Each structure stands twice: as structure tokens, then as C-alpha cells.
Amino acid sequence: MDNYMQVFQGTAFSSKSPKEIHILKDYLFCIHADGVIAKIVSPEDSGYQPLLDHYQGKPNFHRLADGQYFLPGFIDLHVHAPQWAQSGTALDIPLYDWLNTYTFPLESKFSDLDFAKKIYDDVVSTLLANGTTTALYFATVHKEASLLLAEICAGKGQRGLVGKVVMDDPGQNPEFYRDADTHTALVDTEEFIVAVQELAKSTKQGVYPVVTPRFIPSCTDEALKGLGELAAKYDAYVQSHCSESDWAHGYVQDRFQKNDAFALNDFGLLRDKSVMAHCNFLDDHDADLFAETGTAIAHCPISNAYFANSVIPIAHLHSKNVEIGLGSDISGGFSPSLYDNIRQAVISSRMLEDGVNTSLPASERGVPGSRITIHEAFYLATAGGGESLSLPIGRIEENNAWDVQVIDTKLPSAKLPIFNEDENLDDVFQKIMYLVRPEHIREVWVQGKRVHSR
Ligand code: GUN
Ligand code: FE
């Protein structure tokens, strides 16, 4: 009998493809010492009963209670960790004003490490409690505070991918909040990459440095070029905002006479490990370039409803083989929950398909073929995120990390409306997607370690 670190018994939901889920009813999940799923055993398998007999009753055997289910941990592909301090506020003004009036003054305060620790401790714990096991973070321009965020992820057991933000152009960024100069921005980024790679060695789940030009408008050509070179030198992740709003899209057109995607690519910033947030104004050439370079989209449906004046055509981009995951975009998006973003992704896609302007005849209102299902939105939050990051996460299957949430549908204070003991499990899944709140998330595990329970 193999010696597993842990064995779990229960029913799990995981994406098979964007449109289909895999329901593993009453399976055994055997976890290796490195936190990876070594073996998944069906009750029909002849090895099932011997394994159960061997592990049942041991301290490393966990059986889910009635009404509890495993889901993959969520992967949030776009979070501004410092902006957690202003989540839910100032959402009624345009992006450009919001950045200058609220966001840059807040982010400038992260030069104070005590302040940074308070916010970063809270945002990492909050995301874990919402089922987010992996997060791709923007920190701030400050090297030390950005490293502190990576250390907090490492300490709390979250798989954090963290970027020190670069915004070096004195013509575009306020004096109180920008890199001292282009050279310093690049040196700080390189030192940050090296420090996080060193920190990663002492973690089981991994933490990763991310090359992070805030968006084209905040960076000089020299900085963008230097960041592309650093990404290649260290084979590092890259993140930025791409074609987000009318304003940002128009700015890049004026400066480079091309769309963000081609401009970023010219600087070596579209790579297999690149994740670009928003991407509302991508045309088909941009989408092909994303697919060719392996660049992924962080779809931020709540934020897009507020700042982007658009709905991104997910179904169309999937048909063009672009990798897509989901992002909360705290605090452009107000919610730390990817459940809320899953729901908004479906709602927004329905509004795009059906159209909302009733002064037009029904046949002329919407964009046919735009709607996505709740299963597709779940895919974005899980398997799509794993593919976007090229990491073995986001699915409950062999050789993936044991990154899971345990959902309790029978929580005494907030039972989900499941009245039939034999309810179809696909219906149970849909009820979980639409109705779960943080109190239903009883446990969260990352790389085989329990990192949250309630
Ligand atoms: N574009 C540049 N910076 C930001 C930011 O902080 N949030 C969003 N949503 N868009 C941006
Ligand atoms: Fe953002």
C-alpha cells in the first residue's frame, strides 16, 4: 500500500472542458507528501475498498460530512492588493479620475510597512476565506512592501504571484507616487524578482515574482523595453492592464498607432507566462497574437461593468483559443469573491447576447452567441486560471496540486435549498455556484495543507 500524506473521501466537482463538469461521486483522493494528488480512485475500482480499509480511522483520513463537497480552489488572475483598503468606494467616476483622486494617493501610503502589513494580512486572509487558493497580485511601486506581500502569501500558505508595480513616466504619474526614475524602476524590479525567487525556496505551494508595468500610459518606452528583457532573463510572469477603457485604448493608439497587444508585444511583454487584465478592446488580430504567444486574459466582469463601458466577448475569444481566467480586480471590482465574479460573468454575457436597448427591435439589440453558462464561468475561475498560469492547478485530477474548498450545503444557519436527498448533482453544483457565501466555505486547502477553516 502506498504511503500517502492524506486521503480524502467525498464528492468533488471539477471542470472537464469549458462547457462540461466532471462529477466524482464518493471518490478517494490520495495526496502525496508534496501536496500533489497522486491518485484518484472511483468506488467502482477494485482498489477502493482496500485503500479505505487501510486509511479509515487514521488521523490523515478525512471523510466529508453529508452535504459537503469538494471544489477546486479558485484562481484570481487580477487583484490589486493595496486597493482592498478602498473596496466598495468611489466606483462612480471614470477610470482616469479614479486613479488620480483615490487610487494613487492610497497606494502611495504603502511606503509605510506597518500600514502595508495591516492591509496585506487582511486581503490574503480574506481571499483564502473566499476560496481563492492562488492569486496574481499587483502590489505598489514600493519594493519592500511588495516583498512583504509575497512573504505574507508564503506565511499564510496562499500561492501568491506578486508584482512590484512599475510607473516611471514623470509626465504621466504624480510626483507623490511613481518610481524615482527609469533606472531605479528596473533595478528595483530585478532585485524584487531575485528576492521572491529566493523566498519561494522555503514554501511548498510556491510564490512567484511578476514583471508588472502598470499599463502602457504609466511607463516610458525604456522601462517597457527593460521589463521585457527582465521577463526573458528570469523567465518570469508578466502582468499589465491591456485595452481596458476607451481612454487607455485611445492613449495607446495616439502614442504607438497600434493596439495595446501589438505595442506590448513589441517590448517582449507578451509571453506564455503573461496575463493581461480586462482586454475589452481586443480585435481579432490582437486575439490571434494572444493565442500565438500564449498570453492569457484576466476577465474582470464586475470591474468592467463599472470602468470599461463594455462587455468582453468571452465565447468569441474562447473560439479563437485564447486562454482566459477570472479576476476580481479589487478594487475596480468591489468583491473579493470569485463566486460573485462567476455570477457577473454569466449576467454580463447574457446582457451582451440579448441586448439591453429596448428602443431597438429585439432582433437588432444584442450580439448573438455571446452568452456563457455557469459551467463556463466556473471553468474560468478554476481550470482556465491554471492554464493561464501554466501551473498544474485548477482541476481536481491526478498530478494537480491539492488546492480545494470544502463547501457545506447544510450549514445549520444557512442551508442551501436542497430538499431532495437524491437531488441531481449537476443541480447541486449550480446551486453552489449561485448561492454560496463565505460561511459555506468550511475549509480551504493549498498544496495539501489546510490554510483556512471555520
Ligand atoms: N489601469 C491602470 N491602473 C489601474 C487600476 O489600478 N485598476 C484598473 N481597473 N485599471 C487600471
Ligand atoms: Fe486592475
ipTM (interface pTM): 0.98
Helix (H) or strand (E) holding 135: strand 132-138
What length does the chain have? 454
DSSP 309: S
For ligand 1, mutation pick of 80, 177, 252 (most atoms within 8 Å of CB): 80
Q: How far does the centroid of ligand 2 lie from the alpha carbon of residue 328, in Å?
A: 9
All residues at 6 or more sequence positions from 69 whose CB lies less than 8 Å from its CB, including other chains: 10, 11, 12, 13, 406, 407, 409, 428, 432
Per-residue pLDDT of the chain (454 residues; tens, 9 = 90+): 789 999 999 999 999 999 999 999 999 999 999 999 999 999 999 999 999 999 999 999 999 999 999 999 999 999 999 999 999 999 999 999 999 999 999 999 999 999 999 999 999 999 999 999 999 999 999 999 999 999 999 999 999 999 999 999 999 999 999 999 999 999 999 999 999 999 999 999 999 999 999 999 999 999 999 999 999 999 999 999 999 998 999 999 999 999 999 999 999 999 999 999 999 999 999 999 999 999 999 999 999 999 987 889 998 999 999 999 999 999 999 999 999 999 999 999 999 988 888 899 888 888 888 899 999 999 999 999 999 999 999 999 999 999 999 999 999 999 999 999 899 999 999 999 999 999 999 999 999 999 999 9
Angle (CA) 204 112 333, round 5°: 70
Q: How far does the centroid of ligand 1 lie from the alpha carbon of residue 306, in Å?
A: 12
| pLDDT at res. 365 | 87
- The 3-state DSSP composition of the chain as helix, strand, coil percent (nearest 5) reads 40, 25, 35
Determine the Cα–Cα distance for residues 24 and 152; give it in Å rounded to an integer.
34
Angle (CA) 151 152 156, round 5°: 120
What is the distance between the terminal CA atoms of the chain, rounded to a whole angstrom?
A: 33
| pLDDT at res. 67 | 97
Which atom of ligand 1 is the closest one to the Cα of 217? Answer: 2
The ligand whose atoms approach the alpha carbon of 239 most closely is: 2
| pLDDT at res. 304 | 95
Burial of 239: CB neighbours in 10 Å, binned 0-12, 13-18, 19+:
buried
Q: How far does the centroid of ligand 1 lie from the alpha carbon of residue 245, in Å?
A: 10
| pLDDT at res. 363 | 84
All residues at 6 or more sequence positions from 81 whose CB lies less than 8 Å from its CB, including other chains: 119, 120, 123, 124, 137, 138, 139, 149, 162, 330
The ligand whose atoms approach the alpha carbon of 137 most closely is: 2
Which atom of ligand 1 is the closest one to the Cα of 333? Answer: 9
| pLDDT at res. 437 | 97
pTM above 0.90, yes or no: yes
| pLDDT at res. 404 | 98
Determine the Cα–Cα distance for residues 448 and 176; give it in Å rounded to an integer.
43
How far from chain centre, in Å, is Cα 386?
9
Determine the Cα–Cα distance for residues 108 and 129; give it in Å rounded to an integer.
27
Match 444557519 to its residue by C-alpha cell: 413
Determine the Cα–Cα distance for residues 328 and 303; give it in Å rounded to an integer.
7
Strand partners, 12: 24, 70
Dihedral sign for Cα atoms in the order 179, 181, 186, 190: negative
Q: How far does the centroid of ligand 2 lie from the alpha carbon of residue 231, in Å?
A: 20
